[in-house]
Structure 1
Amino acid sequence: MILALALPSSLVAQEDAEGDAPVPTEAPATDDTQPAEESEDAQPTADDDGEQDAEPAEDDASAAEEQEQEPVEQPPAEDDAPELVQQPSADDATEETTTEETGDDWPEDDFSDFDEIAEDIDFVPAAAIDDAMLDRLTPLASFPYVEVSGHLRTRSRARVGFDLGTGGTSAVLPPLETVSPSDAPANPEASNLWTTDLRLRLAPTFHISETLRVHTEADLLDTIALGADPRHSYFVEGMPGADARLLGGYNGAPSLLTVRQAYGEVDAFFGTLSAGRMLNHWGLGILANGGQCDDCDFGDVVDRVALRTSFWNFNILAAYDFAGAGLTSDSLGFAHGTPHELSRLDGTHQWTAQVWRAPISRADRERQAHALYTTRRPVFNGGLYVSGRHNRGQANVDESGLNTVAPPELTYRGLDIYSADLWGQMLWEPADDRRIRLELEALGIFGNIDNTTSAAVGFDPDQTGSVNCFDEASREANPGACSTDADGNVTSKSVSQFGLALESEFYFGGPITFGLNAGLASGGESPNWGYGESAANQLDFMRFSPDYHLDLILFREVIGTVTNATYANPYVMATFLDSGLQRMEFQLDAIASRALNAAGTPSGEPWLGLEFDASLRYLATDTFLAAIDAGVLFPFAGLAAEVDRPRFNHYGDLGPFGESVDPGLAWTLQGRLMWKF
């Protein structure tokens, strides 16, 4: 059998299965060659010029003799690929061509005729490549394997004057030596609180197969204060001896292990199903913040069963959250078998839905990069986050704990709270030296609580006896009874909170990047931002996540978060000594703030303060950070102490302020070292 395939001169013979096939001798290329079909029995056809290529066929002996070519026998390929033979030159059809090939000596590809055929090639932009094709182009991993990430962080922070010198208008207490011993304080002038802490975070992901994953994250040392050698603490009761070197000490009992995430994922035909304890982050992080930033300390976690899928380039997530289990057997020292709920009425249930557009997979990130850096088009991300939280009752346990003779009392709560969070982002890089980022998050929390107190409700003056508020039919038949206590006081509360955060970033060449951040959070009329007040009064205040950082002093430490305030934060950052692998950054921020509701501040005045922060950072790629941060706060009248106003935070029961005191200057110096992997 004579077998010949018409091929261009740039193609070479298939490698011999045993690795000792002869090397091909290249024949001159002609314009009459036609690529063969990728099939063993494919037949060449006439080219565009009407000239017929050599057609190998068993019943065409004359054609074989005319070509005077010996058949080349090829061993069967391992993957059943078509056998390829170098086509003889049209000018010298009688010249014998041998095909020799070794596994280590491939001939160089010939692209000399690329310009001639380029017009006939259809080039497909990366944005038009579907996910299936990208998956085939992605190298496959060997399963199972473990992907490990995490960081080691150490910080040292000096807080000077963070109590503002007012005796109770800051969340930060003064140094203990200013008030103790009570008869003669050790150092009444002390103002510095210096702390150094450490955290080691490990986040291994176990890739069981291409569609099965288990995510974990744990802090082995959860921001513990450094001071681990207790051998010389002779005067602390219960301390170990010199031969028992334990991690701990007079600083207290640090948390040696905190598990933040433990959940599994499976990719199925209907979407990605996940279940377990996972981080909860959305948008800029004013409502749900995973606490993954370099200087974050908290992080929101949620116990959830979720299903995520995609539709029209949008991601859709539906989840049920275990927001609160209520009383369980093990939490009360009654560990009878596996932990179980003691009631279905005191649990808190939450439903969450998200619809958003933002890159999740590698393919999504490649498409976004193509739009930003190749086609230079603006990219728009964003979406909507909604959740509903419901609680019917609360079980109250006294100091004696679980008692089957006198069981805990169930108090009707009737809580229905709904959150809606809208997030939008625009990214645009019209040129290599132009970059714009605009990002906005708007949050609203609404709802109603029938009983914000611990008192029993269900009393209707027109009825004899009480109403079973846990029964829906009874509640509907007696409107208002389940929001009235025995004395006729209304116990219900309508919830209405608002929050807004804007971030911007502009770069127009050179070393300078600048922007303006701004935002607001609603508040009520209770002094000291509602802290220490009843639950009903605290519900008047919108509170951002404490891991959403604006500054170093006022919102982060003195108040604790953004609440009952509006702020403006212009900033400028310079990048220098940038070698691609390492760089230096210097950033300067100014933060001006004012209360939305003056009655909710410590003094009843609206203006809070003006703060200036600076940061000098050294970064080695994305794996190491060394930073020195400094800040100074000039507090205004809103943080002053006023006569007869309640204190925010203080040692002992000092009662309301007896005199007016202006707040003092506060400043800080901080250092950070962080290794990422």
Structure 2
Amino acid sequence: MGGMPGAGPAGPGAPAGPSDDKDGPAEAAPKDKGALAPVVPVPAQPEGRRRAQLFELHGYFRTRADYFHRLDLNITPEGLQQDTNKFFLPPAETPEPDLSSTEPGATLPNDANCTNQLLANGVSAQRIGNRCARRRGTGGANLRLRLEPTIHVTDTVKVHAQVDMLDNLVLGSTPDAYYGANPWAPIDLFTRTQLPPVQGTDSLNDSIVVKRAWGEVRFGFGLTLEVGRMPNHWGMGLVYNDGNGYDRGEVADITRMVDTDYGDSVDSVRASFDFGADKRNAIQVGLSYDWAASGPTTAQLFGPQWESGNLVAQTFSAEKYDNVHQVSAWIARRDDPSMLRRKLSAGVPVVNYGLKSWLRWQTLDAALGYTPGQLGQFDQDTSYSAALVHRRAWTVTPDLWLRINWRTLRIEMEGAMVAGRFRHAEQEDTAPADLDDALATATGVDDTRILQFGYALEFKYGLFDDRFHIGLDHGIASGDSTPPNATNYADAFPGTNDGLGGGSSLTAFRFNPAYVQDMLLFKELLGTVSNAGYVKPWAAFYFFQKNFSARLDIEFAGAMNNAGTLAGNKSLWGLELAGALRYHDNDDPIFVQVQYGAMFPFGAFEPEVTLETVNGPSVQILDAKAAQTVQGQIGIRF
């Protein structure tokens, strides 16, 4: 018969028969019945709570070099620089003060200027005039390494962050010879190495800057909860723009995603819910509460002794009613880029849309004109408590976004309005000694209304197997009667001493500066689209398996309010021409770009000024000249 329990296993092909084992009877079965019980299987961990323990890292590295020529548009006459222009002449071309003269503001030619340099080299006067007329430029190079890590705590719980290293560090700006800090390099000529930037020592920023950190929890029934300091973006980025580069579904989008300068973050707790039979076509509704501003903290007002771990366990906002509260609500239907590409490849038209509105309010605030002392140094003469006024402010900002895609066609638009009002105490120029008295009597009795609007439209169509793109960009931003200038055009309150342009309303809408439209007019000269309307036709051609592209832009812009221009009575800002050659690998996330731009100013940039001459005051209209730029970028996205 066959083998008995305890018998050795028969090898393949072994004959059957009685066992040859003569060591004795087989071992008795154990008396413990539980020992024979089957092993109880361990239940699987719930799917929604599995620990993924994955670390995901994204970001990019970029290096940029640029040269700008005549950004002052040649409208920087001596003594009028701050009145007409936010740009300055190169320091070597800026006149030196004449200390021997009793006349206020008297200057002398700079010893280091172009004329003196060339004279010392024996260059003729005619050649000096031609060469120095072009010596009105500035340039440099900078880099940034951006890390965007994600920690997958579980399948449904994540922690995100954004960290910039050497953020826009100007190459060559932190040598060991900086201000003679190294005795072996008393002047820059002997520098041997570059040092890490340290805030307050050789830089205004530290080497590492943590910009965002937030947590995300997804629930199985469609709810997502986020909290922390997170990117703030909506639509095309006209009002709020996270600065990550908007994905337009084009191969060359990588250039926009890496070559960015600005970006909005918000301290928020946010809940959103996706509903619909098919999550790929889900409609999302959401609600958030944002800490738009908390006012000064105890540490900022009273110094390090009020930091965490000293007098108190944690730093907190010093005043409750100076907080700027903000709530927002939205509804949107938006396909992510990968789903959008799948639908378009199937020839399906895709319509995405959304509506979002923000409401913010503030009860108290510091009076306009209040400038606190050194951070953490409480000064009874200019105390924050004396500066508080009844702001009684509120604003509401509705924003509508629409995008239509079909095959190679894209039509996208966003329009927004800002309405509200606030009270303020109108401040005249006040001597520092009288500042406390002026602030103590500030009660916030003057009322200012806010009504602004703007929109942007983008059209693109691809021809010849989507290798040739034609497009048209258009936008309008309402304006006011305050002209741009060096110190306050980027302000919400440009103008006279009261900070409100002498009027009772704020009507100038400003595009988010991260929504970049050009190279010079809006990006550099005006800072952003405001008091302006523009039309920009463009064309781009992709070749060599779409790894290379060339693009040409022609932008024409005018002012919405003539009184808000430098001229004060003319409406045309100018014409800008821009061209770019790009390499953007389809397989590797890298790009190389070379750009050229020229902006030809029109009458809006030509103010009428009074200049002092040997024959007395002379009224002249300044002749604005073209500005130019050459730029190069190298980026790696991961």
TM-score with structure 1 setting the length = 0.68
Q: Counterparts of 1:241 and 1:320 in 2: how far apart (Å)?
A: 55
Partner of 1:426: 404
Alignment partners' CA distance in 1, 2:202 and 2:607? 32
Match for 2:218: what amino acid? D
Alpha-carbon distance between aligned partners in 1 of 2:195 and 2:618, rounded to the nearest angstrom? 44
Between 419-428 and 262-271, the greater mean CA deviation after superposition: 262-271
In the alignment, structure 1 residue 664 sits paired with structure 2 residue 589: no
The 5-angstrom pairing of residues 87-102 of structure 1 reads none
- State the match for 1:50 in structure 2: none
The alpha carbon displacement at 1:142 in A equals 6.9
2:256 equivalent to 1:279:
no
Residue 246 of structure 1 corresponds to: 195
Map of 1:549 onto structure 2 = 516
* Cα distance per residue 1:517-561 (max 9 Å; x no partner): 000100001122762425434933111111111111110001110
Instruction: Give the deviation of 1:574 after TM superposition.
Output: 0.5
Aligned to 2:552: 588
- More divergent stretch after superposition (144-153 vs 507-516): 507-516
Is 1:500 the equivalent of 2:444?
no
2:57 corresponds to: 148
Q: Is the 8 A contact 1:225 1:251 kept in 2?
A: no
Which of 113, 118, 122 aligns to 1:187? It is 113
Contact conserved, 1:411 with 1:454, CA < 8 A, in 2? no
Which residue pairs with 2:391 in the alignment? 413
- Structure 2 distance, partners of 1:326, 1:226, is 36
Aligned to 2:332: 356
Helix, strand or coil for the counterpart of 1:202? Answer: strand
1:643 and 2:609 correspond: yes
Instruction: Quickly say closer, same or farther: Cα 1:151–1:365, change in 2 above 3 A.
Output: closer
Aligned to 2:320: 344
Q: Which whole-Å deviations, capped at 9, do the CAs of 1:309-333 have from their partners, x for residues lacking one?
A: 1134211120000011102111121
* Residue 232 of structure 1, CA deviation: 3.6
For residues 209 and 180 of structure 1, the distance between their equivalents in structure 2, rounded to whole angstroms, comes to: 64
Change (3 A) 1:607 1:251: farther
Letter in 2 for 1:422: L
**Contact 1:278-1:303 at 8 Å conserved across structures:** yes
1:354, CA displacement in angstroms?
Answer: 1.6
**1:449 and 2:358 aligned:** no
Supply the AA of the counterpart residue of 1:263. W
Spell out the pairing of 1:565-584 with structure 2 (5 A cutoff): 565-578=532-545, 583-584=547-548
Shift of 1:252: 3.7
CA offsets per residue over residues 551-603 of structure 1, 9 Å max, x none?
A: 1111000111000000000000001111xxx6100000000000000100111
Per-residue CA distance 1:434-455 (angstroms, 9 max, x = gap): x100000001000111226459
1:216-615 correspondence runs (5 A): 216-228=161-173, 230-233=175-178, 236=179, 238=181, 246-248=195-197, 252-268=203-219, 269=221, 271-293=223-245, 294-312=258-276, 313-332=282-301, 333=303, 334-335=306-307, 336-337=311-312, 338-360=314-336, 365-366=338-339, 368-374=340-346, 376-395=347-366, 398-399=372-373, 401-403=377-379, 408-409=385-386, 410-429=388-407, 435-451=408-424, 453=426, 484=445, 491-510=446-465, 511-528=467-484, 531=489, 532-533=494-495, 534-537=498-501, 539-578=506-545, 583-604=547-568, 605-615=570-580
* CA deviation map 1:16-43 (0-9, x unaligned): xxxxxxxxxxxxxxxxxxxxxxxxxxxx
Change (3 A) 1:369 1:672: closer
Give 1:177's aligned amino acid: A
Determine what percentage of the aligned residue pairs are the same residue.
30
Distance in 2 of aligned mates of 1:380 and 1:216: 31
The residue identity in structure 1 corresponding to 2:362 is N
2:423 alignment partner AA:
D
**Which gives a bigger RCO, structure 1 or 2 (Cα 8 Å, sep 6+)?**
2
Equivalences for residues 61-76 of structure 1 within 5 A: none
- Is this contact kept in 1: 2:580–2:594, CA < 8 A? yes
Bigger drift between 521-530 and 320-329 goes to 521-530
Change (3 A) 1:217 1:302: same
Q: Name the CA shift for 1:378/1:635 in 2 (closer, same or farther; >3 Å).
A: same
Look up the match of 1:478: none
Query: In the TM superposition, what is the alpha-carbon distance from 1:377 to its structure 2 partner?
Result: 2.1
Displacement after TM superposition at 1:177 (Å): 1.6
- Contact 1:633 1:665 survives alignment (8 Å): yes
Aligned-residue offset at 1:163 = 0.8
Question: For each residue in 1:615-662, what CA deviation from the matched residue of structure 2 results, as whole angstroms up to 9, or x when unmatched?
Answer: 0000112610000000111110101131269xxxxxxxxxx9963211
| TM-score w.r.t. length of structure 2 | 0.72
Q: 1:661 to 1:403 in 2, by over 3 A?
A: closer
Taking the aligned partners of 1:505 and 1:584, their CA distance within structure 2 comes to: 19
Q: Residue 667 of structure 1: CA displacement?
A: 0.7
Letter in 1 for 2:462: Y
Q: What is the match of residue 177 of structure 1?
A: 92
Q: Taking structure 1 as reference, are residues 357 and 640 closer, same or farther at Cα in structure 2, changes over 3 Å only? A: same
Q: Deviations over 1:376-411 (max 9, x none)?
A: 221001101100111111145643742579662221
Give the CA deviation at 1:482: 7.3
Which structure 1 residue ranges, 5 or more long, are not aligned? Answer: 1-75, 80-135, 430-434, 456-468, 470-480, 485-490, 646-655
Query: By how many angstroms is 1:145 displaced?
Result: 0.4
| Secondary structure of 2:147 counterpart | strand
Note closer, same or farther for the CA distance 1:412–1:381 as it changes in structure 2 (3 Å cut): same
Offset at residue 172 of structure 1 (A): 2.5
Contact 1:608/1:635 (8 A) holds in 2: yes
- Number of residue-to-residue matches in the alignment: 494
| C-alpha contact 1:449 1:494 (8 A) present in aligned 2 | yes
* CA distance in 2: counterparts of 1:251 and 1:660, whole angstroms: 42
What is the letter of the counterpart of residue 286 of structure 2?
Answer: L
Rounded to whole Å, the distance in 2 between the matches of 1:178 and 1:543 is 33
Cα distance in 2 for partners of 1:206, 1:421 equals: 33
Unaligned runs of 5+ in 2: 1-37, 42-46, 98-107, 115-131, 186-191, 246-257, 277-281, 429-440, 612-616
